[in-house]
């Protein structure tokens, strides 16, 4: 799906106003039940929200000589505004995929945050720059000499909530908040957004009716199940 930059930014801004729970409900209704990600993903800063178009980076545990990973630098140099860097490859291995400096470089390119099936370090400094990150674990151990990027902008696997694996393709939409993280297939991004916005508005009306003294059976009869 190719959208002009201004349209992509508009969609991203609107997704920031809806919750992953409502998006998950909409995907269920549309027949896409297995796009929620593992509950092991957590935000390094409480209350942060992550929304953007997936830019995938894939790597693997492998020993190698030298003092850096040129492929990693080349991979992140392609990030564009409003994209989320999605890191796949060995989430239980115990090394960090990036830290403060690479996060700073991504933010300066307009990157909207990172979703990491792996580890992160320099959490204090990344939080100070208010860069949204959802990750599997924290570790001080660097990846240099241990874990290496082998591809980017290719479909990748991430661990799922109701399925062992969820495929994330470049250009799919990523949304993560206090409840967890979910993937919205690119071709469904606008449809899901519109329905999630409608559901969000319905919930606002229900809350208001309840505050005004209506009973739960009354509001369910009025608005239906949510």
Please state the residue numbers annotated as binding site. Answer: 99-102, 121-122
Query: Does residue 182 sit within a domain?
Result: yes
Which CATH number do you get for residue 48?
3.50.30.40
Residue 222's pLDDT is what?
Answer: 67
Residue 205's pLDDT is what?
Answer: 74
216 pLDDT exceeds 80? no
Give the DSSP per-residue string, 158-194: EEBSSSSEEEE-TT-EEEEETTEEEEE-GGGHHHHHH
Please state the residue numbers annotated as binding site for substrate. Answer: 99-102, 121
Helices (H), strands (E): how many in the chain? 7, 11
CA distance linking residue 191 with residue 7, whole number of Å: 14
Share of residues in the chain with pLDDT > 70 (%): 96
Please state the residue numbers annotated as binding site for Mg(2+). Answer: 122
Domain membership of residue 85 as a residue range? 5-186
Q: What is the pTM of this model?
A: 0.91
Total of domains in the chain: 1
24 pLDDT exceeds 90? yes
Token pair for 98: 């990036």
Query: Does residue 210 sit within a domain?
Result: no
Query: Does residue 30 sit within a domain?
Result: yes
Query: Does residue 49 sit within a domain?
Result: yes
220 pLDDT exceeds 80? no
Per-residue pLDDT tens over the stretch 48-82 = 999 999 999 999 998 999 888 899 999 999 999 99
**Residues 75 and 152 sit within 8 Å (Cβ to Cβ):** yes
Query: Does residue 164 sit within a domain?
Result: yes
Burial 63-94 (b: 16+ CB within 10 A, else e): eeeeeebeebeebbeebeebbbbbbbbbbebe
Per-residue pLDDT tens over the stretch 93-146 = 789 988 999 999 999 999 999 999 999 999 999 999 999 999 999 999 999 899
């Amino acid at each position: 799906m190719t959208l002009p930059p201004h349209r992509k930014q508009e969609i991203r801004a609107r997704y920031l106003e809806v919750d992953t729970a409502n998006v998950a409900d909409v995907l269920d209704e549309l027949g896409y039940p297995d796009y929620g990600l593992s509950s092991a993903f957590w935000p390094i800063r409480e209350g942060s929200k992550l929304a953007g178009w997936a830019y995938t980076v894939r790597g693997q545990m492998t020993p190698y000589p030298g003092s850096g990973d040129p492929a990693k630098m080349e991979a992140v140099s392609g990030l564009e505004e409003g994209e989320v860097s999605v890191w796949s490859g060995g989430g239980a291995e115990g090394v960090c995929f990036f830290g403060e400096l690479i996060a700073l470089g991504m933010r300066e390119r307009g990157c909207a945050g990172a979703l990491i099936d792996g580890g992160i370090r320099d959490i204090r400094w990344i939080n100070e720059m208010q860069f949204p990150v959802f990750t599997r674990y924290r570790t001080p151990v660097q990846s240099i000499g241990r874990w290496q990027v082998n591809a980017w902008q290719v479909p990748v696997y991430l661990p799922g909530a109701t399925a062992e694996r969820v495929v994330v393709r470049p250009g799919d939409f990523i949304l993560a908040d206090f409840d967890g993280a979910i993937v919205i297939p690119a071709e469904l991004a606008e449809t899901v957004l519109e329905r999630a916005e409608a559901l969000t508005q319905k919930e606002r009306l229900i809350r208001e009716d309840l505050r005004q003294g209506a009973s739960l059976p009354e509001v369910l009869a009025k608005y239906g199940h949510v």
